[in-house]
Structure 1
Amino acid sequence: MNSISVVIPVFNGSHSLSELYSRLVNILQQMAVPFEIIMVDDASKDDSFEVMQNLRQHDKRVGIIKLEKNYGQHAATLCGLAQSRGDYIITIDDDLQHLPEAIPDLMKKITEGYDAVFAIFENKQHSFYRNLGSDFMNLTLNIIFNKPRSVRTSSYRILTGRLANIMKEHDQANVYLAALIFKNTSKVANISVEHQKRQYGQSNYNYYRLLKLARTLFYNYSNLPILFTLILWIVAFVMYRFVKINDFLNSSIIVMSLILLVPAIISIRVIITYYKLRILARRFPAYTIHSIDMEEGELI
């Protein structure tokens, strides 16, 4: 019988974890499958870890991990994937906006021969800017990985154990899970799921986090910045030759050429410097575990 691991990245989710746990256990027991629930505390500022410890004490099917510092949702989820033992792995947010009751539908869809299935939401309850950022990331994935436009991504997903094992090998800083998925498989599908309103707290995503994810996607998983740099080099060279050959022309043309040339050179240097920083960052792991308390062996 296929087993299921549920991975929950946790950040300031103390108010919702107990209800989420109860609903997950209820639906997974109805499915009559071996399962585990892995909660990864991404350096929460509230008492989330204490709640996790209480759940672990009550039910040994709950595994808990505490990270050294805040690495972000994607890194925390990857940490949970790395420790998972199920034949299928489900990732779900801690804020109750994702319906645990949709897990049977996700399971049914992935057994049709897919490696990954993303839940998409009919009526998103995120903010306008969060939805805008999500649309931008999906468009970028379309360009970089030739992702079918009909397929959309979310953090509520189910993966095969085979795909999860491949993704576990990524142990570098700056993680973007959807990129890892599309990099390693094209067997991806969607199902529609109802999206709930957030009951506790507020979204941990802001402009900075969304910008950081976009930057990670462009620089770590695509050649677009390199192509852009090459184009700028060509533009800079052409402008340099134009100024040099036509130095007898009036000063206004020379000034205009320099106005175009200087930003091109600065942009090139910025992109090259950023790539150097990215290369240095790859020396660091995606996350560091402070403590871990989980069962071992096969799921029962």
Structure 2
Amino acid sequence: MIRPKISFVIPCYGSENTIEKVVADIFAVMAQRSYAFELILVNDASKDRVWNKIERLTAKHKNIMGISLAKNFGQHAALMAGYARVSGDIVISLDDDGQHPPAEIFALIDKLNEGYDVVFSAYAKKQHNIFRNIGSKLNDYMAEILIGKPQHIQIYSYYAVRRFIINEIVKYRGPYPYITGLLFRVTSNMANVTIGHQKRAAGNSGYSFPKLLELWLNGFTAFSIKPLRIASLIGLTLSGFSVFYIIYLVWEYFRDPQMVIGYTSIMAGIIFIGGITMSMLGLIGEYIGRIYISLNNAPQYVVKTILNK
């Protein structure tokens, strides 16, 4: 039986103190079984010295490719840059901070070999802070509503994918890649496997609230028109309430012609409707802006340097 080749794609940002250990752990685990493998380390214009560490690793190991991007394009664009250069039959993505245990690599592969196209990790207990855990739950909930994620599937950035899936998603050339949306657009044959989750070895997460918000906007405006439909539904609902309110006011006028319409209620209604209107206009503007940027052929990523092509 010919074993498939495994490709690891790891986006790197702010991980000069962790990336060498992550790579060493992968080599140690892969030595347990006779799989050919490669590592693709993508430097997303990190401000620390992680690129120096990648240069050292590529000089030492010929099966490690180093890619440096010209600017910070974000984790998902960095993944796309790595995916475009994989040669393996199975592609595994994991983070650079050591929280995804390489010891569980074969748990993902064995589950994939049961016939699935994509296998995501799942965690009995996550070692994130409260903010990240809340963000993950919110992301899951929004993914169910907007891109049709099944409720039983949990989405994390440690997963294994078959090569034909990768071949399809790299065809996407838009400037706002969202890996989860691309995966769900290609297949629904997915599963989870429960593994451990380690504490972050060093540093802090690169995902601040603004970056998480940007990621959600990228995913849900690039792969779903449901936000626009929700906006339309809210508009129709408010219009329906206004009709009933007008009928109520007319009835009150004929019941008591001396009734004084309250200034407070009028102002509250104006402010509420105005806020909803501006929110919906902002949402429409977000879609239009992204269409404009896409038509201008904004790059998904720009590769500055490649080591061990």
* Alignment TM-score, normalising by the size of structure 1: 0.90
Distance 1:135 1:242 in 2: 37
SS at match of 1:148: coil
Q: Which residue of 2 aligns with 1:173?
A: 175
Residues 239 and 257, structure 1, Cα contact 8 Å, conserved in 2: no
Q: Which residue of 1 aligns with 2:21?
A: 19
Residues 146 and 227, structure 2, Cα contact 8 Å, conserved in 1: no
The offset of 1:222, in angstroms, is: 1.6
Deviations 1:177-233 (A, max 9, x none): 112111211111011111111111111111111111222222122222211332354
Q: Which residue of 2 aligns with 1:40?
A: 42
Distance 2:280 2:246 in 1: 21
Partner AA of 2:192 in structure 1: N
Q: Which residue of 2 aligns with 1:271?
A: 283
Deviations 1:53-104 (A, max 9, x none): 1111111100000001111111111211111110000001111111111111
Check 1:264–1:293 CA distance in 2 against 1; reply closer, same or farther (3 A cut): same
Q: Is the deviation greater in 140-149 or in 207-216? A: 140-149
Q: Is the deviation greater in 169-178 or in 253-262? A: 253-262
Correspondent of 2:88 among 86, 89, 92: 86
Match status 1:100 vs 2:106: no
Q: Which residue of 2 aligns with 1:220?
A: 222
Q: Which residue of 2 aligns with 1:67?
A: 69
Match status 1:292 vs 2:294: no
Structure 2 regions of 5+ residues with no counterpart? 254-259
Counterparts of residues 177-256 of structure 1 (less than 5 Å): 177-234=179-236, 252=262
SS at match of 1:5: strand
Residues 5 and 90, structure 1, Cα contact 8 Å, conserved in 2: yes
* Alignment TM-score, normalising by the size of structure 2: 0.87
Distance 1:150 1:70 in 2: 33
Check 1:289–1:101 CA distance in 2 against 1; reply closer, same or farther (3 A cut): same
Check 1:34–1:261 CA distance in 2 against 1; reply closer, same or farther (3 A cut): same
SS at match of 1:83: coil
Q: Which residue of 2 aligns with 1:298?
A: none
Equivalences, count: 295
Q: Which residue of 2 aligns with 1:31?
A: 33
Residues 5 and 85, structure 1, Cα contact 8 Å, conserved in 2: yes
Deviations 1:20-74 (A, max 9, x none): 1111112223221111100000111111111101111111100000001111111
Match status 1:121 vs 2:123: yes
SS at match of 1:31: coil
The offset of 1:266, in angstroms, is: 2.4
Residues 41 and 66, structure 1, Cα contact 8 Å, conserved in 2: yes
Structure 1 regions of 5+ residues with no counterpart? 296-300
Q: Is the deviation greater in 67-76 or in 263-272? A: 263-272
Residues 152 and 190, structure 1, Cα contact 8 Å, conserved in 2: yes
Deviations 1:208-267 (A, max 9, x none): 1111122222212222221133235435766888999989x7654765654454334323
Structure 1 vs Structure 2 CA RMSD? 2.3
Q: Is the deviation greater in 189-198 or in 146-155? A: 146-155
Check 1:81–1:258 CA distance in 2 against 1; reply closer, same or farther (3 A cut): same
Distance 1:216 1:182 in 2: 15
Distance 1:71 1:43 in 2: 8
SS at match of 2:121: strand
The offset of 1:161, in angstroms, is: 0.1
